[in-house]
Amino acid sequence: MDYRIYEKRAQYYETDQMGVVHHSNYIRWFEEARVDFLERAGAGYREMEEIGVISPVVSVSCQYRSMVRFHDLVQIELKIISYNGVKLCLAYEVRDKDTGTVRCTGESSHCFLGEEGKPISLKKEYPKYHELLAAWTQVFKDRDKKAEYAEDK
């Protein structure tokens, strides 16, 4: 399974008058990382939309920890925190690539809608995508368990 941490260089147009990345851009960065991850996972937005499935954002949150400035290089690590066939919840952590300093963390929730705009179950209607997302959910759970085990030692 192909997982990589998404990297993003802060662009000048993303900054405010203080030279700091404007708060609204972190949500966009979450989306960039999510689109990249889902594409690599085999459940990309383009492919899903071609078969009539959309996945709108139901909720999003962001906790700002420290500033990102123009030209800083950050890594955006995401993980699936829950998935049940109808709803997908992701967590994000944005870190400075050079120092490892956490810049912000966040979460987003998404549902799956069919062509009529009504909720659908990927498990029932598109098992291929359900199996992919369920497998990735397990990968992230297993990684968390390994990290917890390592911390306990």
pLDDT per residue as tens digits for the range 99-146: 999 999 999 999 999 999 999 999 999 999 999 999 999 999 998 887
pLDDT score, position 146: 78
In order of start, what are the domains of the chain with their CATH numbers?
A: 6-152 (3.10.129.10)
Find the distance separating the first CA and the last CA of the chain, reported in whole Å. Answer: 28
Q: Measure CA 51 to chain center.
A: 22
Element (H, E) at 90: strand 87-96
